[in-house]
Amino acid sequence: MAAIGVLTLELRIESSHSLKDKRHVVQSLKERLRHKFNVAVAEIDYHDLWQRAAVAAVTVSTDHAHAEKVLQSVEHEAAALLGADLADATVEWLA
């Protein structure tokens, strides 16, 4: 049975002074995570706020342990890229 994991990242981008600034941070994060970990990534909330964003990364695997390892790696990479801008990270399993 497939394991579907969703990692939700809550961002507080204090240095952002416009939606353009925020978009630059979010797009860079999404592209980096997609290419490095082969996960699906999307901005899922706070679209109209300058200094907040919610980004979800999703992985699907036949092995739950592998999916968990991928999402942990994604979280560590996001933490390294964002530093204090990463406010929270949660994992949810759909299957």
Domains of the chain, with CATH numbers? 3-93 (3.30.70.1120)
pTM over 0.85: yes
Please report which confidence band the pLDDT of residue 1 belongs to, taking 50, 70 and 90 as the band edges.
Answer: confident
Q: Could you count the other beta carbons within 10 Å of the beta carbon of residue 20?
A: 9
pLDDT at 95 over 80: no
> Among 4, 11, 5, which Cα is nearest to 89's?
11
> What are the tens digits of pLDDT across the range 7-64?
999 999 999 999 999 999 999 999 999 999 999 999 999 999 999 999 999 999 999 9
pLDDT given at position 17: 94
Amino acid at 15: S
> Among 73, 82, 68, 69, which Cα is nearest to 36's?
73
